[in-house]
Chain A
């Protein structure tokens, strides 16, 4: 049994780096990422788990940073959108989103890209139905989703080409 009352030092592993941070029990991972670490790629949309804008990968699985207490994230590897590319080298998913025009205002894009990356890691050739199922829960108010679905298909084709 561990009790958290008031500010307390915790260790978080974010994008391969260890951080020591003083957080309150009620602080969400989203608040810590944006306000303490300046990692503003993770977007603060609805705050109640409906829009998918704050999606991060926890041990490779997409979860919602607005519904995770920072104190509960100490034993996992957290990946945010800032940790996907290496230097200026974009991933296939990011490139496909750019090439297909799947980005308009960009607010949903980090969540979409992370959810897509997780999907293609598990299933490199998803059907359109599987793509829609994986991206359910990610609201986009600009693109009408079609461009996003083609970007996922393009990224999948690119990645499987690179492998074979």
Chain B
């Protein structure tokens, strides 16, 4: 499969890329790892005349701030994130999520920022459109849905694995833009709109990810379910971060985040409330899993039905909570 013709500008910094993106003389696209953009271009879903490539920009090493927060450069590869001792010690849920993305080869190329800014996906959209599904669907600017033929809206799903992990950590992202820069909570980056899942304006680039300091009594875990790990995106992915009391038995607060289930990562807030303030018994974990399955209505995708995904979600929430509190049994 060949790429269409384009010109390519290799920039030396994120700021320079932002300036170029903000003054487009032709249709431009930003490229970091390229593992999502290049297939999209081969399928004809993105047709930039000019590529702004960040391949020449070196990713800075993660930095541990004086306040205990961690700063990650958005151009770090997912392999580097998964292998970083700093991330493994201070945010193991993110290391696990980064290690769960794609295959080893993909992780050696794809970047953390690229994963967070991924477009939403659909079985009927992410493929060539030259012999079937040729009339444009909602996501390609048309007015129909191939997945649900009588559907009135797009059903594409946001499937990045690192987003739920970072949302459960309460991470912020630093965005560089033509009219100024600043940090926003990562949750605010996602619109839950399948047509434009990431809310970055023209010229804005996500340049850093800031993870707040880790309290002493914190446990966390990540689970991804997919029938063919390494080849397929998640059917559902779940991340949890629990802040515990000094006794390490009582949950002070919980943050759960679920991916690959809607047009953006979702937090089952009522399930979080079930966990907060009580002892983490089997009964509480089961109740939290049931609550998460009751309050989130998964968008069926890639051959998984809504009923199946609901049961997957229930099982994964239980699994992730058990694996988070697993270390407690030993302490």
Contact = CB atoms under 8 A, between A and B. Distances in A.
Nearest to B38: A67
Interface string A71-83: 1100000000000
Contacts of B10: 1-4, 71-72
Contacts, number: 104
A61 B108 CA distance: 7
A61 to B, nearest CB: 5
Contacts of B2: 26, 31
Contact of B8 (A4, A28, A64, A133): A4
A3 B1 contact: no
A49 B35 contact: yes
A39 interface: no
A138 interface: yes
Contact of B104 (A4, A27, A67, A137): A137
A137 B34 contact: no
Nearest to A27: B3
A52 B43 CA distance: 19
A136 B104 contact: yes
A84 interface: no
Interface residues of B, number: 34
Interface centre among A1, A62, A133, by most B CB within 10 Å? A1
B252 interface: no
Given A1-B10, A3-B8, A48-B1, A68 B104 contact: no
A79 to B, nearest CB: 14
Interface string B37-49: 0110011000000
Contact of B7 (A1, A25, A136): A25
Nearest to A137: B103
Interface string A21-56: 000111110010000000000000011111010010
18 contacts: A1-B11, A1-B12, A3-B9, A4-B7, A4-B8, A4-B9, A4-B10, A25-B8, A28-B38, A49-B35, A49-B105, A50-B231, A61-B79, A64-B106, A64-B109, A69-B34, A115-B105, A137-B104
> What are the 8 tightest A-B residue pairs by CB atom distance, in nearest-first order?
A137-B103, A136-B230, A47-B1, A48-B39, A26-B3, A25-B8, A5-B7, A137-B230
